[in-house]
Amino acid sequence: MTELYDASSIQVLEGLEPVRKRPGMYIGSTGHRGLHHLVYEVVDNSVDEALAGHCTKIDVTIFPDCSVRVTDDGRGIPVDPMPDQQDRPAVEVVMTKLHAGGKFGGQGYKVSGGLHGVGVSVVNALSEWLIVEVCRDGLRYRQRYERGTPVTDLEVVGRCGKERGTTVHFLPDREVFDDLNFNFSTLSQRLREVAFLNRGLRITLTDEREQTEEVSAPGISDDYGEETGSAEGDGERGGRVGVGQALLDDATCEVTFLGKGPGGPKSVTYCYKGGIVDFVKHINKHKEPIHPHIIHFEGEEQVNGKQHTVEVAMQWNAGYTDNVFSFANNINTHEGGSHLSGFRAALTRTLNDYARSKGFLKEKEENLSGEDVREGLVAILSVKLEDPQYEGQTKTKLGNSEIRGFVESVVSQKLGEFLEENPGDARQIISKAVQAARARQAARKARDLTRRKSILENTTLPGKLADCSIRDPAACELYLVEGDSAGGSAKQARDRSFQAILPLRGKIINVEKARLNKILSNAEIQAIISACGTNVADEFDLSAARYHKIIIMTDADVDGAHIRTLILTFLFRNMLELIEAGYVYIAQPPLYRVSHKRQDYYAFSDAQLEQLLNRIGRQGVTVQRFKGLGEMNPEQLWETTMNPDKRTLLQVTVDDAAIADEVFSTLMGDNVEPRRDFITENARYVRTLDI
């Protein structure tokens, strides 16, 4: 029977109905990311006031009921009636209309980051309730909304003297979001970045909740991930964990506990008078700069009556990776764009010109490549423009074509001036790039040699790899397993049709301290590259991946954590695209086996063990603590860690490259002091330590 399809089939959603109908279209998801995006949207409005020169501080507070309040000292949202909107107050229009605000023309905002998002009206639509307060012209106004609908008129509730600003207090809707558990670390990292990018802006995050430990299904990250399956009953469970958070939690936040010590309410304040110069200092704090001065400059121009500005801060360190972060109107442009293209072109050309003019490069030597000049570089590139145009669905790539030439011109001029005025710094920078060029050429020869030996060819796989029979990469899994003993158990436990096992002998090379040519000479690294099939570094090809799940499975002890960290460091530094594609996972083997009345139970943490013992009793119970995967027989390993119907996997993501870089530099870099500080700071969180 053919269904009727005519004009009556067309549905028109009015006001904020589309948001509640399809929230994922507006905030990305109804999980962890979408929940935090609500806070970012409100904060972005306050930041736009700061960009316009009218806001000096922003306060964000998380309350015990999971509501959030954002307060600024900006001009306050206008409250006067709008004739073309049935004389409704402007603040009500802003809160209830999808495309209403001061950023679509006129003189409200010259520069705005808010246009990349969806606006505070979407926050209103997805909140159980929202209260907005505005202080303007000596009066305090208030209006309350429920699920986007005004339930009170805009009322004058008092006087505020010279005080001004906007307060938005909202409770996310439990009918929309899977979980209302805001993560302090996630919010603080984002707010710190905003503070770096807005020199002198004071941002405070306060968490008034009591921090109690939650007992959840193994591997499901209340703080960092979205649950991909049910925590109850059968079915594969998993979560998402940032590549940095896969190694540590909250290490990047210096917090003040409010009276009750760790576990109680806490607060952190960010304010950087140096702006992005302080940002570079922060990223390089665990590294060894090769020149003392941070290069910093700004430039501006008028194009077709519109103002463009660029600000750059940069410094090279002794490391081998580059960290160049680009922003447009405070928006982190993860995918780059025209401004980043202009920066890179100017950087490469300017350093080559200087190197040749001063004799660092001989006439017959080839030019330094972009890869060479960026080795060890930490740079923050921030542009401000009146009409940003973003490409792609994620709005993280700047598309304004005129910005490339502008940035290229400013960087060429200012960087050239710095090199001429600071010959000592210039010598260190050029020497570093020349060394990188020689190492690149050596790595190329090493790849050519190994290719001739068929070590990296996809057609020749490492002998210790137990491959699977299926040839569809999307259905295949590769387990990177610590040691031959665990590898033997895993080979017996696996489903041979789709699960491949690669045992790794000992600890792979720490790639944080080595260039690519040395990395490629390591046998275990060669085995990983060969098994994955993608090659590595500038020859990486994601389409050649032989497995779409690469699962790191190590022991649940100190050595296992170290090996996992080494593997993650290698993947992050040399095969980042695997992580970005969502192909990298961490297995979650159990810590304990509990036998009771001829039945076995498994616990994945001390907290779960206590919960289990409280449930089944402690009489006649045998508890075994697994110190290694090799202690489990194949049946136990399959049942707990490898069976897709019951296992837990954490998917590794890179939500913030700057945070991830900081973590790897802290844990794996040459500088011992920050690692000692990290251990000292976090030792109190360790309950049981196997050495």
Q: What CATH number should be reported for the domain holding residue 569?
A: 3.40.50.670
What pLDDT score does 130 carry? 97
Q: Could you tell me if residue 571 is inside a domain?
A: yes
Q: Residue 551: enclosing H or E segment and its boundaries?
A: strand 549-553
- Active-site annotation holder among 559, 580, 606, 670: 559
Of the candidates 384, 329, 412, 342, which has an alpha carbon nearest to the alpha carbon of residue 116? 329
Of the candidates 217, 221, 239, 216, which has an alpha carbon nearest to the alpha carbon of residue 183? 221
Out of 213-217, 608-612, 656-660, pick the least confident.
213-217
Return the higher-pLDDT residue of 396 and 201: 201
Q: Could you tell me if residue 229 is inside a domain?
A: no
pTM of the model: 0.71
Q: Is 378 exposed, middle or buried (0-12, 13-18, 19+ CB in 10 A)?
A: buried
| CB atoms inside a 10 Å sphere around CB 635 | 11
**Alpha-carbon distance 630 to 559, whole Å?**
14
Same domain, 438 and 584: no
Above 50 in pLDDT, residue 13?
no
Query: Mean pLDDT, to the nearest integer, of 25-33?
Result: 82
Query: Does 366 qualify as catalytic in the annotation?
Result: no
- Active-site annotation holder among 557, 577, 631, 670: 557
Q: In the numeric block, which tokens belong to residue 630?
A: 């090799």
Q: Residue 188: enclosing H or E segment and its boundaries?
A: helix 184-197
**Alpha-carbon distance 72 to 56, whole Å?**
8
Q: In the numeric block, which tokens belong to residue 178?
A: 């899977």
Could you tell me which residues come within 8 angstroms of residue 253 by beta carbon, excluding any fewer than 6 positions away? 184, 185, 188, 189, 268
Q: What CATH number should be reported for the domain holding residue 117?
A: 3.30.565.10
What pLDDT score does 372 carry? 94
Query: Mean pLDDT, to the nearest integer, of 546-559?
Result: 88
Out of 15-19, 183-187, 480-484, pick the least confident.
15-19
Q: Could you tell me if residue 262 is inside a domain?
A: no
Same domain, 398 and 355: yes
Q: In the numeric block, which tokens belong to residue 70?
A: 């954002």
Same domain, 31 and 165: yes
Above 50 in pLDDT, residue 530?
yes
Residue-wise pLDDT for 311-338, tens only, equals: 999 999 998 888 999 999 988 888 899 9
Q: Is 549 exposed, middle or buried (0-12, 13-18, 19+ CB in 10 A)?
A: buried
Residue-wise pLDDT for 113-166, tens only, equals: 543 346 899 999 999 999 999 999 999 999 999 999 999 999 999 999 889 999
- Active-site annotation holder among 72, 555, 656, 662: 555
- What 3-state class would DSSP assign to 171? strand
Q: Could you tell me if residue 189 is inside a domain?
A: no
Same domain, 298 and 151: no
Q: What CATH number should be reported for the domain holding residue 303?
A: 3.30.230.10
Same domain, 424 and 488: no
Return the higher-pLDDT residue of 40 and 520: 40
**Where among 420, 447, 474 does a domain terminate?**
447
Same domain, 492 and 423: no
Boundaries of domain holding 651: 459-589+637-671+678-685
Q: Where are the alpha helices (DSSP H) in 325-422?
A: 338-357, 370-374, 401-421
Work out how many domains the chain is built from and give that number.
Answer: 4
**Where among 426, 447, 468 does a domain terminate?**
447
Query: Mean pLDDT, to the nearest integer, of 657-684?
Result: 62
Going by DSSP bridges, is the β-strand pair 202-207/266-270 parallel, antiparallel, or unpaired?
antiparallel
Return the higher-pLDDT residue of 292 and 669: 292
Same domain, 513 and 365: no
Strand partners, 169: 69, 131
**Alpha-carbon distance 181 to 66, whole Å?**
7
Query: Mean pLDDT, to the nearest integer, of 5-11?
Result: 41
What pLDDT score does 29 carry? 82
Q: Could you tell me if residue 432 is inside a domain?
A: yes
Query: Mean pLDDT, to the nearest integer, of 450-475?
Result: 72
Which range of 13-17, 423-427, 673-677 scores highest in mean pLDDT? It is 423-427
Above 60 in pLDDT, residue 393?
no
Above 90 in pLDDT, residue 35?
yes
Strand partners, 325: 380
What pLDDT score does 586 carry? 92
- What 3-state class would DSSP assign to 150? strand
In which region does residue 340 sit, left (phi positive, over 0), alpha (psi from -120 to 50) or beta (all else)?
A: alpha
**Alpha-carbon distance 671 to 572, whole Å?**
19
Same domain, 558 and 651: yes
Above 80 in pLDDT, residue 674?
no
**Alpha-carbon distance 433 to 329, whole Å?**
31
What pLDDT score does 569 carry? 87
Q: Is 670 exposed, middle or buried (0-12, 13-18, 19+ CB in 10 A)?
A: middle
Q: Could you tell me if residue 653 is inside a domain?
A: yes
Same domain, 132 and 280: no
Same domain, 385 and 507: no
pLDDT grade, residue 291 (50/70/90)?
very high
Going by DSSP bridges, is the β-strand pair 149-150/155-159 parallel, antiparallel, or unpaired?
unpaired
What pLDDT score does 486 carry? 85
Query: Does 559 qualify as catalytic in the annotation?
Result: yes
Same domain, 596 and 642: no
Query: Mean pLDDT, to the nearest integer, of 5-28?
Result: 63
Same domain, 51 and 160: yes
- Active-site annotation holder among 48, 128, 467, 482: 482
Query: Does 482 qualify as catalytic in the annotation?
Result: yes
Going by DSSP bridges, is the β-strand pair 155-159/256-257 parallel, antiparallel, or unpaired?
unpaired
Q: Could you tell me if residue 405 is inside a domain?
A: yes
Above 90 in pLDDT, residue 407?
yes
**Where among 395, 424, 447 does a domain terminate?**
447
Residue-wise pLDDT for 165-223, tens only, equals: 999 999 999 999 988 999 998 899 899 999 999 999 999 999 999 864 333 322 222 22
